[in-house]
Amino acid sequence: MGFQVASYEHIKQGRVTDVYFERVKAALSSKGINPLVDMEVRAGSLPDEWKWAVFAGLEEVLDLVDGLPIELRAMEEGELFGPREPVLSVRGRYLDFGVFETAILGLLCQASGIATSAARCKLAAADRTVISFGARRMHPTLAPMIERNAFIGGCDGVAVVESAEQLGETASGTMSHTLILCAQDERLAYEIFDASMPPEVPRVALIDTFQDEKFGALFAAEVLGDRLAAVRLDTPGSRRGDFLRIMEEVRWELDIRGFGHVKLFISGNLDEYKILEYNPLADAYGVGTHISNSPVVNFAMDIVQIDSKPLSKRGKESGLKQVWRCSADGARVRTLATGQAASCPRCGSAMEPLIEDCYKDGRVIMQTPAPRDLRARVLSKLESAEL
Ligand code: PCP
C-alpha cells in the first residue's frame, strides 16, 4: 500500500513532468537541437485582489535542481513581488532541465500562494496571534510544506506535530470538541485537560460545544480561574449570527467578573476580512482552509533568451531581466539583467537588485535562512505592505 503521491526520487528523476515535455525532449534530441536558453518564472497577474505576493518554495527548487548543469538566479525567499515581475530564472541547455518545468512551477505556485494567504491574515491580525489550522483540508503528505509556508508567511504557529518538528518549532493548538464530547461533561473535560497538560501548554477552553458562548466562557472561567488563558469560540455557522456582538458580550461578562486576563481565541471559516472585522474583540485566531487551500500563484516559466539573444513567445517580454527596489520608498523598476537602474524614478535614491545568483557550478550559493528567520524577513516587509 502507500499514499497516491510521487516519491522524492521520482520527482528528482523528472518523472513528475507533463508528457509533452518528454515529447519535446525526444523531438529536439532527434535533431540534436539543444540550445542554451534562459527561462524566467513570473506571474502575469495575482489571485483575487492581491497587490503583492510572497515568494516561497525556493528552498525545495534548489533541492530539486541540485546536480543539474544549470544556473539559477532568484529573489530571496520571503521577498514580496508583483505581477509580471520575474522571481526566478534558469539558464542551461534546454534538454538538461526542460522536463523539470512541471515540478519547479508546482513547488513555487503552491508555496507562494499559501505564504501569501498567511501573510495577508497576519497583516490583518497585526500583533494578534494567528495559528495555522488547515492541514486537515489537504493531503497529509503536504502538511509540512503547507505549514512551513504558512509559518514563513507570518503565522505565529502551526498545529501539526510533524510540521512543527520539521520547522524546529513547538506545535500550537487548544482542545477539540471530541474531548468534551467524549467526557460528556465540560467541567470534567476542562479539569482533565488542565491536569494532564504540561505547564507550557496554554489552557484554552473550547466553549461552544453544548453551551451559549457567554455562559460557556463564564463556566470555563469558574472551573479554571486564573489558569484559564483563553476561551476558544468555534461557533458553528448556523449559530454565528452577529459574531462580533457575541464576542463583545463574552468580553463584558468576563471583565465584570474579574476575568479580564482571559483572551478570546476565534476559529472557523476565517479569512483576512473576517479577521479585520473581529479584531476589536479577538486576541488570537486559528485559520484553516483559507491558508491551506489558498489560491496558487499562477507562475509561468517561459523562454526569454536563446543563445543569449532575446526571444520569447507572444505575450511575454523577451530578454533576461532584473527587478530593482528603491531602498528609500520601495518603488520598483524592471530592467534587462544587463541594465542598471540608476536611481529611483520617484525619489532619486539608490536602487537595489532583487534577483541574485543562487545556484551555479553545481552548488547552491544563496543562503536559505531558517524558517523563523524567513518569517521575520516577511514580517519586516509586511510593515510597509497593504492588503
Ligand atoms: C476545526 C478547527 C477549526 C477549523 C476546523 C479550521 O474545527 O477547530 O476551527 O478552520 P477553517 O474553517 O478555517 O478551515 P472543528 O473540526 O469544527 O472542531 P475541532 O476543533 O473540534 O476539531
pLDDT tier at 368 (50, 70, 90 boundaries)? confident
Domains 8-114+295-323+354-382 and 173-290 agree in fold? no
Over residues 162-168, mean pLDDT: 98
Tens digit of each residue's pLDDT (9 = 90 or more) over 74-97: 999 999 999 999 999 999 999 999
User: What residue owns the CA closest to ligand 1's atom 20?
Assistant: 176
Cα 58 to ligand 1 centre (Å): 30
Find out whether the beta carbon of 267 lies less than 6 Å from any atom of ligand 1.
Answer: yes
Domain covering 8-114+295-323+354-382: architecture: Alpha-Beta Barrel (3.20)
Dihedral (Cα; 68, 72, 75, 77), 10-degree rounding = 10
Alpha-carbon span 208 to 250, nearest angstrom? 12
| pLDDT for the residue 130 | 98
| pLDDT for the residue 223 | 98
| pLDDT for the residue 1 | 83
Over residues 119-142, mean pLDDT: 98
Find out whether the beta carbon of 234 lies less than 6 Å from any atom of ligand 1.
Answer: yes
Find out whether the beta carbon of 287 lies less than 6 Å from any atom of ligand 1.
Answer: yes
Please count the other Cβ atoms lying within 10 Å of the Cβ belonging to residue 260: 10
341 pLDDT higher than 90: no
In whole numbers, what is the pLDDT of the chain averaged over residues?
Answer: 97
| pLDDT for the residue 367 | 82
Q: What CATH homologous superfamily does 173-290 map to?
A: Aldolase class I (3.20.20.70)
User: Which atom of ligand 1 is least distant from the CA of 137?
Assistant: 14
What Rg value do the Cα atoms of the chain yield, rounded?
24
Record the pTM. Answer: 0.97
Over residues 99-128, mean pLDDT: 98
311 pLDDT higher than 80: yes
CA 163-165-168 angle, 5° bins: 110
Over residues 48-67, mean pLDDT: 97
* Amino acid in the structure at residue 252: W
Residue 261: DSSP 8-state: T
49 pLDDT higher than 90: no
Which of 120, 133, 181, 272 maximizes ligand 1 atoms within 8 Å of its Cβ, making it the mutation to test the pocket? 133
| pLDDT for the residue 343 | 86
Alpha-carbon span 91 to 247, nearest angstrom? 55
Domain positions in the chain are 8-114+295-323+354-382, 173-290
Question: What is the bridge-based pairing of β-strands 80-81 and 53-54?
Answer: antiparallel
Tens digit of each residue's pLDDT (9 = 90 or more) over 221-233: 999 999 999 999 9
